[in-house]
Amino acid sequence: MSVKRLPLLAAALLPLASGAWAADATPEGAQTLERQVREWVTGLLGPTVKIASRPVQITPEGDHYAVVVPLGEAPDASRLTATARAIDGGRWNIDNIRLPSPAEFKISLPQDADKDGKVGMGPISYKVTFGQQSGQILFDPTYATPSTLNSSYQNMDLVATGDILQQTSHLDRSATTSILRPAANGRVDLLTDGTLEGYRINSKTNDGEDLQVAMGRVRLTGEIDGVSRDRGVQVLQALIQVGSLVETGIKAGAQATPPKLDDATLKTLVEAIPDLASGMSLDESIEKLAVSYGGMAGSLNAFRVGFAGKSEGGVLNARMDLGAEGLTLPDLGLGDMVQLIPTKVALRPAVSGIATADLVRLAKATQNGGSPSPADIQALFSHGGITAGLDSFSVDVAGTGFTGMGKLVFTSPEAFNGTAQITATNLDLLQQRVAANPQLAQALPVFIFAKGIGRTVDNRMVWDVTYQNGRLLVNNQDLSAMTGGAPAQEAPKQPARPQQRQQNRTR
């Protein structure tokens, strides 16, 4: 099965045209639906992607239609099947969605480059089986009411074999719910919430080692707000062309002239992406993660990664969330050093103050190898500066907890100011454990210095940090000389009063 056919699995079941849907399924209605689906898919993917003459096959069966999506060109190719039934309000219930089990297909992936830098495409054979599966779509072609997708799988096994990949994976169960919700100005919001449990994967790497990964439970939630359907089609078609050029460049080799994207497609992509959606968020959490490779193993009780971004008044704001808890590395032989591995880490890096119009202007200036002007670069900082830093962070290690925040405000590529606050709880515990370890005892002067410039609040040590005009202050103590910054400015001496000058001459 070609990778380019994968979008059809979902697209073929959700035609935009709704005129042919009727309460009674008829052969004429089935033919009209097939034509509408083909026209819609062609318009969605663009002329560069060739699709089958019947990407979806629809047959009337009483009060519903039987839907078949072939997963290949051969007459005996595997097929996705479903039933479609009209319901109130012009909506459709697409039920009994089933992938074939077992199903076998091939995908070509890039191989290692030869002596000339050319990369071949190696075929990988896949076989997937499902113990149980279910899928159901409630779809409103007018987007006036929410549309939903529910799917679940149990005991899924996937085997991949080829010259460049040997891999097996197993999934105990998974469940996903996605909602397409109408929003203002004809746009839609996309929400998804999915979980999987008991996921295991075993791969043979190129160096002959076994890579094993196991996850107890994974949850993924996401939301994309204010999606423009028209812009989405433009971005999809442009990305298809970009992918085709990348594949061509890989095959041609490192010494070949890189293919260039035509100006019209690049212009469409650059202008469409900022208007594609008003905001998005993504959050993934993993419980009981274990990794083993080459005789080394490690595990985490919990791991989290998240991303969120939005545009307000044409200015972008974005942040990430990174977290880990319960890290163990039993095969590293750390001895007493193991107690200094952080038991919990949470970081929230963020950036704000970048205008989408400035990014579009930079993208246009750099298309096909161009260079932006100094004015284009300086314009990025013209909205109060670009702010980057940590909205928050926390680290627990050896009974000591560090928390705080910090940010830098760039007013040009070279000029910035910054502020931060760092708090340590039970710092003495960490100092005692460091002092008890001969390998770390040399770090004790660092603790002495840090405590000397810190201020104590209850059982916490606090450091307020500012950096401005080349001067570094920690709790109002000037440390600029230590960082190579501007030295502290001495206060100007007051001129002596006349009486004092006379006394000095007398002396």
Q: What does the DSSP assignment read for 357-383?
A: HHHHHHHHHHGGG----HHHHHHTTTT
Burial-class residue 298 by CB neighbours within 10 Å (0-12, 13-18, 19+): middle
Residue of 172, 87, 101, 98 whose CA lies nearest to 135? 98
138 and 216 fall within a common domain: yes
Is 187 within the bounds of a domain? yes
CA dist 140 and 48 (Å) reads 29
Question: Could you write out the three-class secondary structure of 103-151?
Answer: EEEEEEEEEEECCCCCEEEEEEEEEEEEEEEEEEEEECCCCCCCEEEEE
- Give the end of a domain, one of 60, 87, 114: 87
> Could you tell me if 45 and 241 are in contact, meaning their C-beta atoms sit under 8 angstroms apart?
no
Q: Is the pLDDT of residue 503 over 50?
A: no
Is 471 within the bounds of a domain? no
Q: Is the pLDDT of residue 168 over 60?
A: yes
Is 181 within the bounds of a domain? yes
132 and 62 fall within a common domain: no
What CA–CA distances, in Å, run from 391 to 283, 289, 325? 17, 27, 19
Is 362 within the bounds of a domain? no
Is 10 within the bounds of a domain? yes
CA dist 196 and 286 (Å) reads 10
- Give the end of a domain, one of 201, 228, 255: 228
* pLDDT recorded at residue 112: 64
215 and 166 fall within a common domain: yes
132 and 71 fall within a common domain: no
Q: Which of 68-72, 364-368, 470-474 has the highest mean pLDDT?
A: 470-474
Quote the domain boundaries for residue 158: 101-228
Q: Which helix (H) or strand (E) holds 185?
A: none
Amino acid identity, position 111: Q
- Give the end of a domain, one of 181, 203, 228: 228
203 and 147 fall within a common domain: yes
82 and 135 fall within a common domain: no
> Could you tell me if 164 and 189 are in contact, meaning their C-beta atoms sit under 8 angstroms apart?
no
Is 322 within the bounds of a domain? no
Q: How many domains does the chain have?
A: 2
pLDDT: is 116 or 179 the higher one? 179
pLDDT tens-digit map of 442-487: 888 989 999 999 999 988 999 999 999 889 999 999 998 776 655 5
169 and 124 fall within a common domain: yes
Residue of 277, 350, 273, 356 whose CA lies nearest to 315? 356
CA dist 290 and 287 (Å) reads 9
* pLDDT recorded at residue 251: 65
Q: How many CA atoms lie less than 13 Å away from 492 in the CB half-sphere?
A: 3
115 and 216 fall within a common domain: yes
116 and 60 fall within a common domain: no
pLDDT: is 175 or 235 the higher one? 175
> Which token pair is 488?
């502290």
Is 12 within the bounds of a domain? yes
* pLDDT recorded at residue 72: 74
pLDDT grade, residue 259 (50/70/90)? low
149 and 191 fall within a common domain: yes
72 and 179 fall within a common domain: no
Question: Cα angle vertex 377, ends 375, 383, to 5°?
Answer: 95
Determine the longest span between alpha carbons in the chain, in angstroms.
Answer: 121
pTM recorded for the entire structure: 0.81
Question: Cα angle vertex 186, ends 183, 192, to 5°?
Answer: 40
- Percent of residues, the chain, with pLDDT higher than 70: 84
pLDDT grade, residue 62 (50/70/90)? confident
Is 192 within the bounds of a domain? yes
* pLDDT recorded at residue 250: 65
105 and 220 fall within a common domain: yes
Q: How many CA atoms lie less than 13 Å away from 25 in the CB half-sphere?
A: 19
pLDDT tens-digit map of 285-341: 999 999 999 888 999 999 999 999 998 888 999 999 999 999 988 877 777 777 888
Backbone phi, psi, residue 369, to 5° = 90, 5
